[in-house]
Each structure stands twice: as structure tokens, then as C-alpha cells.
Amino acid sequence: MDLTLYTASKVLRIAMVALTTALVLTVAAGRPCRAANASGKEQYLLNARFLTGSGNQPDDWRTQAWVDSPSAAAYRWIPPPAAGGQGVLEIENLQANDSRWLQTITLGPGWYHFSAEIRTEDVPRDAVGATISVMDDGIMSPDIRGTSGWTRVGFYLRVGKRGADLDVALRLGGYGSLNTGRAFFRDASVVRVAALPAGAYPAFDLEQIRRAMNPAPTGSPISLVAVFLALSAIAAWGWYEFGKQPPAMSRAEARRMRARSSRKR
């Protein structure tokens, strides 16, 4: 059997397996991760009522800020009282900042309602206040500023047919609009709705927003596969042509050849 042809065929098979695996993983990424909340609705946030955690860290949430320094922002998890109830997340911006508690979720196609109860203390009114947001351009609830009691705010979001991964943020301040003060969050929720309710506001289309932010390159998935296969074929042909060339003779082999030739003389 020609080993060079075998090697080229093996390389091509490996390339095809890698392409198939990548396509399968891309499709699987759009599948939603579901959990049930107390009302029986599908709840897409984990630990949405901040019931569990350790120390100052609630399970399934992380922190992030524009100025990511202990001197710029403080984060606190207030566990639920022993008698029952729910926990609270707090952000205190010690200097003008855009700070948030974050959780990454995966959503399938359709409409979703994002909401949370928020209250604030000493949040200036000349910049974006406290919101529940998605970390894509401008997707956020109405903001809460000043000093306020608990208020539920939210927004609606349409996810395209391929689904999406996104970061949900409980946030104080915004992009290009840093703020100070304290914000408190409880009873966060991301649930699916059958359709956008009449008059619902604000409402966003995630697919359109991401397309505007990142225009797709010209072409189609079929042309991408064709290019990949063409490159794989070129690589396989290169292996075949490389195998047809005689191996280079090492210096030691050359010396042995000269020695045998001189003895024959």
C-alpha cells in the first residue's frame, strides 16, 4: 500500500471529522438551559433569588466593572433571613463607575421578559442609574436613580432562530454614563413569553442589534464548507507530492556510499 496516499487520506478524514464536530457544537449552543421558579414558569437564571452562596459570594453570579478595583466598587451578598425570604445583591460605586453582578445564560428562539426588583440610595440623576441589562448595546430596563424604595423594572427581548448566549447584568451605571451611589437587587427573573404583549416597552431584538454591531461577512455557510474542503484537498495533495520525492541522503549515508565506492575501485 502506498503510505503517502494513506497519509493524505487520513489527513482528509481528520479534517472532515473536525468540521462535522464544529457544526454539531454550533447547533447545540443554541439549546436553552431551563429551570423552574416558584410560580412554575421556566426560569432561565440560576439562583435568581440569591438564596445560596458562601461568604460574600452568591452561587452562579460574578462581578465586573469598568473600573475593576476594590477602591472603585464594593459588592455584597446579603443572604436570606433565617425565617425565610430571599437574598439581596448590593453594588456600591465608591467612584463614578459602571459596575454589575453578571450571569451568562443560553436562550433559544423567542420572546423573553427580563425583570428585577431594585432600590437605590444616593444615586445621582445626571447619569444612568440602576438597571437589569444585557451586555449588548443599549439593552436595559428603565433605570432607577436617587433614593428609592423597591421597584420592579424590566424589558422584553427577542432572540433569533439560532438562539444566543448572553450576559445578564444587575448594574449600576452604564456604557459612557458612569455613576456613584448604592443599588440593591432582588427577585431577578428571565422567563419566556408566548409573544410580545401589546404596548410592551422597552422591547429589543437581539439579532438585529448584534447584526448592526457586527456585520456578517459576504458569503454563506455552503461557500465556507466548500473553501474548507478545497483547502483540505490542497493539503492532502501536498502530502502526496511530498511523499513522491526521494528522501534526502544524510551525511553519514553519503560517507558510507563513498567508502563502498572507493573499496570497489
Pick the last residue of a domain from 172, 194, 213.
213
Are 45 and 116 contained in the same domain? yes
Kindly state the average pLDDT of the residues 220-231.
Answer: 66
pLDDT at position 217 is: 60
Say how far apart CA 229 and CA 16 lie, in whole Å.
8
pLDDT at position 20 is: 46
For Cα atoms 147, 151, 155, give the angle at the middle one, nearest 5 degrees: 120
Pick the last residue of a domain from 213, 232, 249.
213
Kindly state the average pLDDT of the residues 212-236.
Answer: 69
Residue 174 forms beta bridges with which residues?
177
Are 78 and 154 contained in the same domain? yes
Pick the last residue of a domain from 170, 187, 213.
213
pLDDT at position 110 is: 98
CATH number at 165 reads 2.60.120.260
Say how far apart CA 71 and CA 79 lie, in whole Å.
24
Are 118 and 240 contained in the same domain? no
Kindly state the average pLDDT of the residues 69-75.
Answer: 98
Domain total of the chain? 2
- Pairing assessment for the beta strands 203-205 and 151-159 based on DSSP bridges: parallel
Question: What average pLDDT does the structure give for the chain?
Answer: 84
Are 202 and 222 contained in the same domain? no
Q: What is the pTM of this model?
A: 0.69
Domain carrying residue 242: 3-25+218-264
Are 91 and 182 contained in the same domain? yes
Q: Is the pLDDT of residue 148 over 90?
A: yes
Are 13 and 116 contained in the same domain? no
Kindly state the average pLDDT of the residues 35-63.
Answer: 88
Are 255 and 143 contained in the same domain? no
Kindly state the average pLDDT of the residues 107-118.
Answer: 98
Are 156 and 242 contained in the same domain? no
Are 110 and 235 contained in the same domain? no
**What Å distances lie between residue 98 and 73, 172, 239, 248, 249, CA to CA?**
9, 6, 54, 63, 66
Are 113 and 196 contained in the same domain? yes
Are 208 and 225 contained in the same domain? no
Are 192 and 244 contained in the same domain? no
Say how far apart CA 20 and CA 15 lie, in whole Å.
9
